[in-house]
Structure 1
Amino acid sequence: MSGGQKGGQVIVIGGGLGGLWATLAIAAAGHRVTLFSLFEVMRSHSACAQGGINAVLDGKGQHDSVQQHIVDTIKGGSYLANQPPIQSMCEDAPGLIRTFERMGVTFSRTPEGLLDQRLFGGVKNKRTCFAGASTGQQLLYGVDQQVRRLETEGQVAKQEWWEFLSIVRDDDGVCRGIVAMDLRSLEVRAFRADAVVLATGGLGQIYAPKTTCSTNSTGAAASRVYQQGARFANAEFFQFHPTAMLGADKTRLMTEAARGEGGRVWVPKDPADRRAPLRIPEAERFYFLEDWYPSYGNTVPRDIASRAIWKVTRELGLGIGGGDRVYLDLTHLERGFVSTRLGAILSIYRKFAGQDPLTTPMEIFPAAHYAMGGLWVDYEKDPATGGMRRGSPRNHATSIAGLYACGECDYAYHGANRLGANSLLSASYSGRVAGEAVASYLSGLERGADAAPAASFDAETARQAEINQRLMRSSGDQNPFRLHRELGELMTTKVGVIRDNAGLDGAIADLSALEQRFERLDLGESSTWANQSLAHARQVLDMVRLAQVMAASARARDECRGAHFKPAFDIAMPADSFPGEPAFEAYRERWKANNAEWLKTTLAEPGPDGPQIHFEPVDLGLLAPEQPRDYR
């Protein structure tokens, strides 16, 4: 490919909403796409999203507006996200919903046949479109059908059950393809591409087993390109979902829609109360979210709800039975209504907890859920609109030329905290934007991957094959599955809901020691066919290295913002004062001074002694931080 001609070859890695939308946009521009996935595309983690996708349709007559969606997203993220991408995402959201409709997505509707919308945390307007409580699955299937059509036409090819190992760069540092491993035969091969799009999802397995994420949400792909020089941004901001059901193997998400539809969170006022929950009178229940945040009640943002549950259980000792559990109660709601709107989570809870949420309140606790941080990606601002310039080749480009990122593996849209139902929106929107950007990049590409020397591909293939051989030959005393569990326990304890610098220093030291133990690995099997231990060991090692970025970034940020909370640096909002009163105004001045120092994007780059951390300013051109949002 040369001279900007059409017909380039692009590799998209990841078959969730981000990857599928990128594939559609790239194919629409006339380029061929090879889509790599760890498993069948329809099993991608996007299918696990439950509650809905945000877009301002104002179907409830609440005078909602796109501007309010933008403001809610910016303020919900504590002003830490660059604002042009947020503006464009919120403006394009209604059209995106209409496109999903034309794809055949079965959104829930009102009796009049209009798209129904529900309430989600951090907002006061109903702007979340949904398909019962399995929205992500319905969206994923709708887009996948469009990609399957392109498969039949020969414009898209799928490589399922292949794992991305690394990118291949030419002598100029430009990404010219990838090296991947067939998870069945363990064959390691190089694939040429004029551009590569990484859409590999989140990294919740770093906190396993106390995570709502699937076993394939490792962050290993993002870690691998970070180790090859791609910048990683805002790694310290990791969202803990407040309402996850407990389990011995993992935690399972109970969608925020449960609170948005009227669910109430509470504990007995007496921690010694052992009565069945429905035998405890209303007067003897502590509805702490409603008491502490009456303006939003049970629909406060996730970071606030998670810390409130933490305080009730860990600090006040009011957890159910004195433990890490609170009630999420749906029993006061009309049964038919709950079954229709939340049927998917009712089924999950019945299956894994053995109780019916229609007759017994669910027991929940915060669990690791979503990475706001991710690979740093660029954008071009349109001075005419204030949003992103549509079709710019800079949009969603990483710091490595020819490599793009979208979906949860990028950092672009959520700042310090993601509002519920903005994840399906950002995954879909960013995939489409990244695809359009790649098409623009290819139109100006003077030299394609076919011109890259074979030596670069041969050398990287040999390097990755040698890593496999070294692991297969090792015969130490360390089990990769045990190391993974230790990693999860370490991160949950020291880089969790609440953090302090002593704990983070300990985490950094412990992670370094954990990495060194991989030198004494024992896979426990030597088969060269479908060796799951080999693939898992490589993923765990890359998770450890990404966890080091998270811990170092958290250590470098001495403040409380969104999902990153260090009590020693908290600027507490006065409990009994409001704007205009001296105590509140003094607080606001401290908050402004804090912003002047810390309202910056955290950037990590690999160095010989570990992650190198520095900061860059945030684009505040649309909405300057004037005062913090008061969720009381």
Structure 2
Amino acid sequence: MASKSILKSESNKVRRVIVVGGGLAGLTTVIKLCEAGVPVDLFSLVPVKRSHSVCAQGGINASVNTKGEGDSPQVHLEETVYGGDFLANQPPVKGMAEAAPGIVFMLDRMGVPFNRTPEGLLDFRRFGGTLFHRTAFAGATTGQQLLYALDEQVRRYETIDVEDERGVVVRGEKMVRKFEWYDFLSVVLDDAGIARGIVAQDVKTMEIEAFPGDAVCLATGGPGIVFGRSTNSVINTGTAASSVYQQGACYANGECIQVHPTAIPGADKLRLISESARGEGGRVWVPRDPNETRRGRDVPEKDREYFLEEKYPGYGNLVPRDIASRELFLKCFHEKRGIFNQGSKKNENEVYLDLTHLPRETLEKKLSGILEIYEKFVGEDPYTNPMRVFPAVHYSMGGLWVDFERSASGSLVLGSPRNQATNIEGLYAAGEVDYQYHGANRLGANSLLSCIYGGMVAGPAIATYRKNLAKSSFDLGDNIFKQARKREEQNYERILKMDGKENPYRLHEELGEMMLRDVTIERHNATLDKVIGKIDELEDRARKCGVTDKAPHANQGAPFIRHLFNMIVIARVIAVGARRRDESRGAHFKPEFRDRNDADWLKTTLALHKPGVGGGNHGIEYVSSLDYSINGKPMHATNQVDTSLVKPRARKYETAGAAAATATAQAATKTEKKAEEATQ
């Protein structure tokens, strides 16, 4: 029987929901919950405006078709699942593509300063994997503009009082309470395995607290720092996802990691040069002579090889990221065609990304944000010198498994409690931390869209789940929360007492260098076997670490050890998943298995943490189905991918061009007309 009051528990406490993560997915989830009248506690490891979404540069996809190219949500759906090599369940992607134009218009009304055409319309640029101008953008700082706009909406709810069903204000209670500088440790589970809240640590006072919540939504981003140096912020360790995975949540398609083709190589991290640079006309090339020593700007056209344009005439420099990264890797590592560096006086693993042929006014208007980054960290003027770039780990298509409920139209049943639900009842996930929307490869500018759409879906789903919850978390008493807090306090005390000789930062460096070298663009089974063995070794050595900081306040050393253990767990999921998937699909590429194998591998990898499981899977149990419950009702899901909307076919970007785009648009139009006729 559902709780009597939607707002108050039987013990007269305000029933709140917990959202962990202050990026686009988390903020959108908060907004949708507040619109449904659900009070929220928002937790973030850093100030919300420093969430990793702020780093996104290029734009957000929506098939508005202002340029009259024949683009549509149906084409967006087809290109997304095609670009993801058909590993994504198609109903959620369809829902995302259909919602995209409305999302962009909503953001525009919120005040996001999108670039506009001379006529005053929203401007759209091309991005990889599409032949249409589909990407709305705010210069080259789109993520920052979107994050700030959504944060303003959430801040408004921080000032609004909670009201009960009769409209009476509940004194001292605001719709949103924000907890910044809190590190998520674990979810609180009751005896039935239902999520009832979280345990988190204040990283200023180091106090560990347990917080009740009628549901929990993780929106904590990806695990890029598992690879050491990446385009991700240093906070993106994947620790939250790893923690709940170890508590029983399923991790899906962990092996699918995206490597962005263009970033600035650096000793500390790899700084992204957005795909928008190529979307605005940037050209990738290497000198035809591998012994060329002239500066890029001094190499004449006849001596340049624009290898992406030559091999992929239809898409040119805007092939999907997995293909572009492999081509750059081929040039540098296999053909030894990396360009000569004037500083080191030797050939480096770099290629040129050239914008110098474009008008300076255009570059300043549309790309100044990323060009400033390049000039600051490289010390060269990108307006007059071709930029030197190389691929970098950028995004995880894999993540926490989440469910969906398909509608009769092939999209999603909005408000269904199954949407964005993990296999732990009461625990939801949205954004890069989930696996849902991109398959084996993500098309550029779909990330911001999937974060916001995931939040728009998760909010109503959680509201429905909470409405039908038999017993509120706020009526359970303090015992399960005290036990959960005590368990994490004991774990932290054990870390503080660690006095071994291993340095956790050195271990992380070893882990990152190995993962970056051996588990990114090309994967070989013999090498992966060694990687998995090394991960096991690193885990053993991590138990012999010495804590570098015992301070009672603002301690960074002890929490890092906790994150290190969690990163090692996720690294194992990625590596073992890559070892098992004997095919090439999207960003997962094995030279020994170059073809896609739909007969055996058109399936979602479902990984469960089982430390005692043997059989060479190193504590991971791979399953073909999941059984879980929502509001006491049993649910069943399998690893079969829903490909009912777009039939899987071979990816052939080499032969695609304008004619292919027209055919796709015409096919999509026919599909839409048939759908309309069927509903009339």
Write the distance in 1 (CA, Å) between the matches of 2:305 and 2:5: 64
What is the aligned partner in structure 1 of residue 426 from structure 2? 402
Residue 537 (structure 1) shift: 1.4
Q: How does 1:213-362 map to 2 (within 5 A)?
A: 213-321=232-340, 322-362=347-387
2:161 maps to 1:160: no
Letter in 1 for 2:208: V
Q: What are the Cα deviations for residues 467-502 of structure 1, in whole angstroms up to 9, with x where unaligned?
A: 111111111111121111111101012211100111
For the Cα contact (< 8 Å) 1:3–1:446, is it kept in 2? no
What is the CA distance between 1:570 and its match in structure 2?
0.5
Q: Report matched runs for 1:356-435 at 5 Å.
A: 356-383=381-408, 385-435=409-459
The one-letter amino acid paired with 1:621 is S
User: Match for residue 584 of structure 1?
Assistant: none
Distance of 1:169 and 1:547 partners within structure 2: 25
Shift of 1:453: 4.4
The more displaced of 331-340 and 609-618 is 609-618
Residue deviations 1:36-81 (CA, integer Å, cap 9, x gap): 0011100000010000000011111212111110100010000000
Residue equivalent to 1:620: 643
Please tell me whether the aligned partners of residues 81 and 415 of structure 1 are also in contact (alpha carbons under 8 angstroms): yes
1:469 aligns with one of 461, 470, 493: 493
The equivalent of 1:576 in structure 2 is none
1:80-103: CA deviations, max 9, x gaps? 000000000000001111111111
Aligned amino acid, residue 290 of structure 1 = E
Aligned ranges 1:182-201 → 2 under 5 Å: 182-201=202-221
Q: Residue deviations 1:500-521, cap 9 Å, x none?
A: 1111111111001101112111
Alpha-carbon separation, structure 2, partners of 1:623 and 1:302? 21
Q: Which residue of 1 aligns with 2:3?
A: 2
CA contact (8 A) 1:552 1:613 kept: no
Deviation (angstroms), 1:437:
0.4
- Determine whether 1:65 maps to 2:101: no
Partners of 2:600 and 2:477 in 1: CA distance: 46
Aligned ranges for residues 93-104 of structure 1 at < 5 Å? 93-104=100-111
Partner of 1:599: 602
Equivalent runs, 1:553-632 vs 2, <5 Å: 553-571=577-595, 594-607=597-610, 608-609=612-613, 610-615=619-624, 616-632=639-655
Asked if the contact 1:476–1:522 (Cα under 8 Å) also holds between the matched residues in 2, the reply is yes
Aligned partner of 2:116 in structure 1 is 109
Task: Give the letter aligned to residue 115 of structure 1.
Answer: L
Structure 1 equivalent of residue 46 of structure 2: 39
Code of the residue aligned with 2:654 in structure 1: it is Y
TM-score normalized by the length of structure 2: 0.88
Report the secondary structure of 1:419's partner residue. coil
Q: How far apart in 2 are the matches of 1:137 and 1:631?
A: 35
Structure 1 residue 454 displacement after superposition: 2.8
> Does the Cα contact within 8 Å between 1:12 and 1:23 map onto a contact in 2?
yes
Partner secondary structure for residue 567 of structure 1:
coil
Q: What secondary structure, in the 3-state scheme, does the structure 2 residue paired with 1:604 have?
A: strand
TM-score by length of 1: 0.95
User: Whole-Å Cα distance in 1 between the matches of residues 5 and 234 of structure 2?
Assistant: 40
User: Partner of 1:526 in structure 2?
Assistant: 550
Q: Secondary structure at the match of 1:364?
A: strand
> Which residue number corresponds to residue 195 of structure 2?
175
CA contact (8 A) 1:267 1:326 kept: yes
The 1-side partners of 2:141 and 2:620 are apart by: 38
Q: Take 2:208 and 2:590, find their aligned partners in 1: how far apart are those partners? A: 44
Cα deviation 1:428-486 (Å, max 9, x = unaligned): 01011101100010111110102224332222211111111111111111112111111
Question: CA distance change for structure 1 residues 345 and 491 in 2, over 3 Å: closer, same or farther?
Answer: same
Q: 5 Å matches for 1:404-553?
A: 404-553=428-577
CA contact (8 A) 2:319 2:653 kept: no
> Is the 8 Å Cα contact of residues 377 and 396 (structure 1) preserved in structure 2?
yes
Separation in 2, partners of 1:193, 1:459: 16
Equivalent AA in structure 1 for residue 651 of structure 2: P
Look up the equivalent residue of 1:150 and give its one-letter code: Y
Check 1:629–1:440 CA distance in 2 against 1; reply closer, same or farther (3 A cut). Answer: farther
CA contact (8 A) 1:3 1:443 kept: no
Task: Report SS of the residue matched to 2:622.
Answer: strand
The SS at the match of 1:157 is strand
- Give the secondary-structure state (helix, strand or coil) at the position aligned to 1:159: strand
Q: Distance in 1 between matches of 2:302 and 2:156?
A: 58
Q: Please give the alpha-carbon distance, in whole angstroms, between the structure 2 residues aligned to 1:349 and 1:612.
A: 44
TM superposition shift of 1:219: 0.5
> Is 2:87 the partner of 1:80?
yes
Moved over 3 A (4+): 629-632
Task: Please give the secondary structure, in 2, of the residue aligned with 1:601.
Answer: coil
Root-mean-square deviation (CA), in Å? 1.1
Could you tell me how far 1:629 is from its partner in structure 2?
Answer: 3.4
What letter corresponds to residue 612 of structure 1 in structure 2?
E
Work out the CA distance in 1 between the residues paired with 2:372 and 2:31: 33
- Deviation of 1:5 after TM superposition, in Å, equals 2.1
8 A Cα contact 2:315 2:653, kept in partner:
no
- In 1, the alpha carbon distance for the partners of 2:602 and 2:654 equals 20
Match of 1:366, SS? strand
Distance across 2 between alignment mates of 1:613 and 1:287: 43
CA contact (8 A) 1:3 1:444 kept: no
CA contact under 8 A between 1:55 and 1:94: conserved in structure 2?
A: yes
Deviates more, 1:269-278 or 1:390-399: 269-278
| Residue aligning to 1:20 | 27
Question: Quick one: which amino acid aligns to residue 645 of structure 2?
Answer: L
Distance apart, 1:6 and its partner CA: 3.8
Displacement of 1:253 after TM fit? Answer: 0.4
Inter-partner Cα distance in structure 2 for 1:454 and 1:170: 11
Q: CA deviation at 1:323?
A: 2.3
Would you say the 8 A contact 2:548–2:558 is kept in 1?
Answer: no
AA in 2 matched with 1:450: F
Alignment match, 1:586: none
Contact 1:3/1:447 (8 A) holds in 2: no
Find the counterpart in structure 2 of residue 583 from structure 1: none
Cα distance in 2 for partners of 1:3, 1:557 equals: 49
What is residue 678 of structure 2 aligned with on the other side?
Answer: none
Instruction: Provide the rounded CA distance (Å) in 2 between the counterparts of 1:37 and 1:65.
Output: 36
Mapped to 2, the partners of 1:631 and 1:371 lie a distance apart of: 25
| Deviation (angstroms), 1:4 | 6.2
**Which residue does the alignment assign to 2:152?**
145
CA–CA separation in structure 2 for the residues paired with 1:506 and 1:532: 31
What is the number of equivalent residue pairs in this alignment? 609
